[in-house]
Amino acid sequence: MTIIGTKWVFRNRLDENGIVSQNKARLVAQGCNQQEGIDCDETFVPVARLESIRILLAFACDLDFKLFQMDVKSAFLNGFINEEVYVAQPLGFIDFEKLDHVYKLKKALYGLIQALKAWPAIMFSVYLCANFQEAPKTSQLEAVKCIFQNIKGTSHLGLWYPKGTDIEIVLYSDSDHARDYVDRKSTSGICTFVGCCLTSWFSKK
């Protein structure tokens, strides 16, 4: 049986003036030490794909449906685990009567493989800069700064899903035809519209 280590993660919450208003601490498990078949099984993400959600929104807007959203606070911590998982005592916690004891988890803890969730990633520009992360130059660092400036300046923008549009699936594709001067590979991209609503897109080298 593997004993999973634990770690404290600290974060400061700032108010609108940039002053620390709250100090937060979270105990996480070092799930990288888990072994499949022993203290975890095959995992998957039981959530809908973002493309499916966008298609649903496009149809709902066109047909004037009412949509409701819900969320579960601390969903990770409310998940049950079927395997026997043991974690070490947290750093800074001292139980003089049980110094050599470990703890058996009854519910999921942040960091466990059982608690994994999928999060969307930033698209093409970050991928392009990531190719040079082993030995970045000044030009790549300037490009990363431009990415942050672009995100900061466009954070108020979003996708537009109007009402009363023709529900027609339209797909656009393009390629830069061996634009990469290093390996001469092409980068292609595709975006899909349901009516005038953008629902999915991807770029691949």
75 and 140 share a domain?
no
Q: Say whether both 143 and 81 belong to one domain.
A: no
Instruction: Give the structural domain span for 134.
Output: 121-158
> Is residue 82 situated within a structural domain?
yes
Are 110 and 126 within one domain? no
**Per-residue pLDDT tens for 79-108?**
556 667 777 777 777 777 777 787 777 666
Residue 166 included in any domain:
no
**At 5, is the secondary structure helix, strand, or coil?**
coil
Pair (51, 131) in one structural domain = no
* Whole-number pLDDT of residue 109: 63
Based on the fold, state whether residues 7 and 108 are members of the same structural domain.
yes
pLDDT at 107: 64
| Residues 105, 46 share a domain | yes
Q: What is the pLDDT of residue 188?
A: 86
Tell me: do 141 and 75 sit in the same domain.
no
Tens digit of pLDDT for each residue in 11-39?
888 888 888 888 888 777 766 666 666 55
pLDDT at 193: 87
Q: Which residues of the chain have pLDDT under 50?
A: 113, 116-121
Strands 197-204, 188-194: pairing kind: antiparallel
Q: Kindly state whether residues 99 and 60 are assigned to the same domain.
A: yes
Q: How many domains does the chain have?
A: 2
Nearby residues of 205 by Cβ (< 8 Å), 6 or more positions away:
127, 180, 185, 186, 187
